[in-house]
Structure 1
Amino acid sequence: MLNDIVTFINDLLWNKGLSVLWESEDAISTVQVPILAVMLVLGGLWFTFKLGFVQIRHFGHMFSIMKGSQKSDKSGISSFQALCTSLSARVGTGNLAGVAVAISLGGSGSIFWMWMIAILGMATGFAESVLGQLYKVRDENGEYRGGPAYYIQQGLNKRWLAVLFSLCLFLGYGFIFSAVQANTITDALNHAYDIPTQYSGLVIIVLAGLIVIGGFRAIAKFAEWIVPFMAVTYVLVALAITFINIQLVPAMLYDIITSAFGLQEAGAGALGAAIKNGIQRGLYSNEAGSGSVPHAAAGATPNPNHPVSQGYVQMLGVFIDTMILCTCTAVVILLAGGSNGEQMEGIRLTQTAMSSHLGDFGGDFVAAAISLFAFTSVVANYAYGESNLHMFKLDNKIGRGVYTLGYLLMIFWGSKASLPQVWAMADMALGLMTIINIIAIVWMTPTIVAISKDYFIKRDRGERPEYSTGDCQIQGETETGIWDQK
């Protein structure tokens, strides 16, 4: 019955949508475009235009904002730690297993649509992160917490919608997504070394428990050290493989573009599969619009002290995740000829591709990479769920204890569950979260535009952008004491 419910909801979110006629040389076919995908694309276009193509016009500023980003205080983590925490959650199964799934089910053309959703998603990620930072609160320990539930409650005064989002987030990031990451780790280790899944699952529980017991700040410090190391290492290996196979790169790029628009023999069927799987797996990887990243953005003390500075930081996170790391995985798989799979192969397709380039070391490298990538996501997912305990006045020892126990039990369950079952539940939770968040941030467009213009104007005047209550008109109210003084 549970599987039937999950399947029904996912059909509504991901599979049933608008029917689009596609004409090829041989016939006219109908392609179904999922409603959720339409919402994300339209949302990305909406904020791209409303913010004046901020992801393109301010592309360089997105990097320069990271200067001085390691400053923190007793209330918030640093901007660099916030970026690494969000990347910890983003960089996981979506970058290795998810890209493999997209290629296996949608062909090489799915990579193009993954890029498109990332470019649009940079504007969406900017918008939601600005709101997360603007409407942040202090918990019982005086540390910053925030996210969609907080800006929905304070900005829109819709407590019921805020509670609904929090429940979806607890289901997704608090529990199911950690199960997905654990599933991928145990499957990769079992495939590479025949390690029983229950044993590796227990190891994950112990290691994760030792980190998350220190709370949000401990997770941020862990991410600050491990994320740069694993990202740079993975990129260097992918670049080496690309240079070794440089003669195949033009044909690979041509295949991506032609497949993306259904210009090959498969026609409309390939187009529909490419769009659906590229957008779906792209969303799962970069998380733009899903409402997860604002939790990391809200936890930071921004530098400069303006909510928009965190918009740039997290916009950079979308770029790094999809345009760099996901592309690395795609290149490795496609250069190995792995674009013709007929079923969901997950991480094993990536392992097989890497092994074809690097021999036995390739399989070992992917097993190590996915274990590290996914483990950082397991840890960061806890932080997102923990940020919402304050919504229910559960940010105390009992509340955190119960939440932590459920989180660890779900990791163990995920380590033994079947891949399609876990992915389906993850898609459902992510879809529900995304619908609520997209509606909320579009609703709050006046605030996003107003506070962004405040930053743009101050920067254009040569000032250091600083925000204080009353500098511009916003919806609802921020928490007293957060932005009252510069």
Structure 2
Amino acid sequence: MMASLCIFSMVLSLCGFGWIVTEEFRCGEMIMIDAVIGFLNTLFWSYILVYGLLAVGVFFTLRLGFIQFFQFGEMFRVVFAARRKDGAGISPFQALSVSLASRVGVGNLAGVAVALHLGGAGAIFWMWLMALFGMATAYAESTLGQLYKTTNHDGRYRGGPAFYIGRGLKAPWAGVLFSLALILSFGLVFNAVQANAIAGAMNFAFDVPLWATGLVVAACAGVVIFGGIRQVAKVAALVVPVMSFFYVLLVLVILVMNITAVPDMLKLIVLSAFGLQEAAGGIMGGLTAAMLNGVKRGMFSNEAGMGSVPNIAACATPSPHHPASQGFVQALGVFLDTIVICTATAVMILLSGIFLEPGADLKGIEITQMALAAHVGAIGNYFVAVAILFFAFTSIIGNYTYAENALTYIGCAGRTGVMLLRAGLVLMVFWGAQQTVQRVFDAADASMGLMATINLVAIVLLSGTVVKLTRDYLRQKKEGGDPCFDLGDYPELEDRIDTEVWTKR
């Protein structure tokens, strides 16, 4: 009862009706709620996930025989392979575009800057390392997401961690818990965060009122998501490659303009990664700051192991017709997000020297905007504002697809449930553009931490299935055939997966 009153009090306060609750009750219970949320975030993001995600990445890298390195070319082949059309799924390229739409957001522009600001240049080295190991994790979770997929009431493919947790591990209660955490964080609150970043950047660069930006972004997001996952996939497949190309192209131009400074920049990254460069806290202090901020940046950016991307991987019609092919597609997504796009931001900032200036007190997107302005002039501020508009907007529509999959698992994906989710997302975008309520965002971080922890445990427990699928795929490929999933080779899965989906064709 007390917990319910606490939650009710918090909701009233956030909505502007805090006067209904007595001051003594509000203060006491809000302090308790903040303490609980703070404890969970410290537990998840300072201990379990920072080390757990890295450990799981190393585990799958070793168990799958360094698959992300030896099969790197296969990742590109399966993305552009001739599409199998069955009317139930989206193409591998569309699935990659939607996953990148969700991954490539505010974190790629502002988050990298924060990592540099707090951890120094060495944070980039650990960000790279996290991504390289994370490719194996992304391969594993997306392979499982594809294997355990099913169809919804409209005959469209749906799936994700909730499905392989509930069916593969026979733990439906954990699947429901995972789904609720995903809907709260990715379906609602994080979209408010993205909208807040868009509104702030547009206000800073063009003096556009926050409410006006929120209204326009909410309207545009509504037009896309009310068209369903297929419409999201079409928009993402068009916007994501274009925006990423121009952003990376600009950074390549900057790189060429500063080519003589590149060797020193690379030296700075490596030395700082191990605390061998000057550091305020000494060698160990510099090493710790660089490692923790780099690992966190990589983790937030590419989402490998978080349990989000498998939701869209499950919606694809794989080509070749084998679960492992979608694993390769989403492993490539980690590479493109972190090794390419995040690195582009880091290079631009490092070559500008902005974050190293004595007494500079810059944070997040301000660092990125000033760094680009140092290279190309005042137009840099406007370019970053436009870039973050597209990056964050595609994150909003990409996040929606994950939440709809979660609705399918808990049995609320009928017309009413889906419409409520879409309406809630649009409202959160408009609301989030105008204000920042840190408590709500912290609560979403806690729910995402719970979600990621459940997913990591699940994919490790199901790693034997991932290994068997991988060996099967590579064997067929070595024999010169087009890998195809044959349910007859997996009798242990017949009562756990949707056999109708995977009937050999």
* TM-score w.r.t. length of structure 1: 0.93
1:226 equivalenced with 2:239 (yes/no): yes
Alignment of 1:44-443 (within 5 A): 44-68=57-81, 70-266=83-279, 267-340=283-356, 345-418=363-436, 424-443=442-461
- Distance, in Å, in 1 between the alignment partners of 2:446 and 2:133 is 22
- Distance, in Å, in 2 between the alignment partners of 1:127 and 1:280 is 20
Aligned to 2:16: none
Compared with structure 1, are the counterparts of its residues 260 and 130 closer, same or farther at alpha carbon in structure 2 (3 Å cutoff)? same
- Distance, in Å, in 1 between the alignment partners of 2:437 and 2:208 is 17
Aligned to 1:483: 502
Larger Rg: 2
- Distance, in Å, in 1 between the alignment partners of 2:457 and 2:114 is 28
Amino acid at match of 1:46: F
Compared with structure 1, are the counterparts of its residues 69 and 366 closer, same or farther at alpha carbon in structure 2 (3 Å cutoff)? farther
- Select between 271-280 and 328-337 the one with higher mean Cα deviation: 271-280
How big is each residue's C-alpha offset from its partner over 1:11-58, in whole Å with a ceiling of 9 and x where there is no partner? 11123xxxxxxxxxxxxxxxxxx3311111110011001111000111
Q: Equivalent of 1:10, from 16, 22, 41?
A: 41
CA apart distance, 1:230: 0.6
3-state SS, counterpart of residue 470 of structure 1 = helix
CA apart distance, 1:262: 0.8
3-state SS, counterpart of residue 339 of structure 1 = helix
Amino acid at match of 2:321: N
- Select between 48-57 and 267-276 the one with higher mean Cα deviation: 267-276
Give the gaps of 5 or more residues in structure 2: 1-29
Amino acid at match of 1:274: A
Amino acid at match of 2:460: V
Amino acid at match of 2:128: W
How big is each residue's C-alpha offset from its partner over 1:324-365, in whole Å with a ceiling of 9 and x where there is no partner? 000000001111113348767121111111111111111111
Compared with structure 1, are the counterparts of its residues 455 and 406 closer, same or farther at alpha carbon in structure 2 (3 Å cutoff)? same
How big is each residue's C-alpha offset from its partner over 1:108-155, in whole Å with a ceiling of 9 and x where there is no partner? 111111100000000000000000000001000000000000111111
CA apart distance, 1:242: 0.6
8 Å contact from structure 1 (residues 152, 159) kept in 2: yes
8 Å contact from structure 1 (residues 179, 422) kept in 2: no
Percent sequence identity is 48
Aligned to 1:30: none
8 Å contact from structure 1 (residues 71, 79) kept in 2: no
Amino acid at match of 1:8: F
8 Å contact from structure 1 (residues 97, 184) kept in 2: no
CA apart distance, 1:187: 1.1
8 Å contact from structure 1 (residues 115, 322) kept in 2: yes
8 Å contact from structure 1 (residues 104, 343) kept in 2: no
8 Å contact from structure 1 (residues 70, 80) kept in 2: no
3-state SS, counterpart of residue 191 of structure 1 = helix
CA apart distance, 1:473: 5.3
Structure with bigger helix share is 2
3-state SS, counterpart of residue 490 of structure 2 = coil
- Distance, in Å, in 2 between the alignment partners of 1:425 and 1:367 is 27
Compared with structure 1, are the counterparts of its residues 149 and 234 closer, same or farther at alpha carbon in structure 2 (3 Å cutoff)? same
Amino acid at match of 1:201: G
8 Å contact from structure 1 (residues 69, 79) kept in 2: no
Compared with structure 1, are the counterparts of its residues 409 and 67 closer, same or farther at alpha carbon in structure 2 (3 Å cutoff)? closer
- Select between 93-102 and 467-476 the one with higher mean Cα deviation: 467-476
How big is each residue's C-alpha offset from its partner over 1:165-190, in whole Å with a ceiling of 9 and x where there is no partner? 10110111101221121111111111
Give the gaps of 5 or more residues in structure 1: 16-33
* TM-score w.r.t. length of structure 2: 0.90
8 Å contact from structure 2 (residues 48, 453) kept in 1: no
8 Å contact from structure 2 (residues 80, 92) kept in 1: no
3-state SS, counterpart of residue 63 of structure 1 = helix
Amino acid at match of 1:129: S
